[in-house]
Chains A and B, each alone.
Chain A
């Protein structure tokens, strides 16, 4: 079974600064994907970034990048040049082929960007 743990219930950052959200996961398999989703007050679940476990290179999407440490089972999200619109709940999630083909989510981290 998969588990995903986000140990930071809340984080805050000043506008234009950098913040890192932490995530650890537990799976014994090799073929999986990891994700960060953003959920603003609109409740829409928005994909921020995706990482294939077989790729050693860390994924990046504009101001968003990850630090994927496979051996440590760690998958942190770095947001650079934080913007007020980044204020949201952020979820880390894993997807394991063969394990029900479902996403397993962490409990989430509330990120507040302050002006």
Chain B
């Protein structure tokens, strides 16, 4: 059974930093793209970033480019999202999701429960 467990959410001040983690199990992590999707309170889904299986290809939404950095450690079956200089508009539940394929051209076939990030002074 695929399991994705996000951690690291919480309160962060604007201009601070926070790192989210997603521990994966139940599948061969290094064979699949992985993504982050967020959902602001009461709003729809916003795709944030996707990283190919090898980590060679990384893509970001324009709204986070230059501030959020996605990475993965295939030896630890873990996906990361580094949030630098977050803004109030980054407040959201952040979901980790497994891609359906090796490449970034993937739909998202398994999702974690999400972790809430609140950016506030």
A interacts with B: no
> Chain B interface (Cβ within 8 Å of chain A)?
none
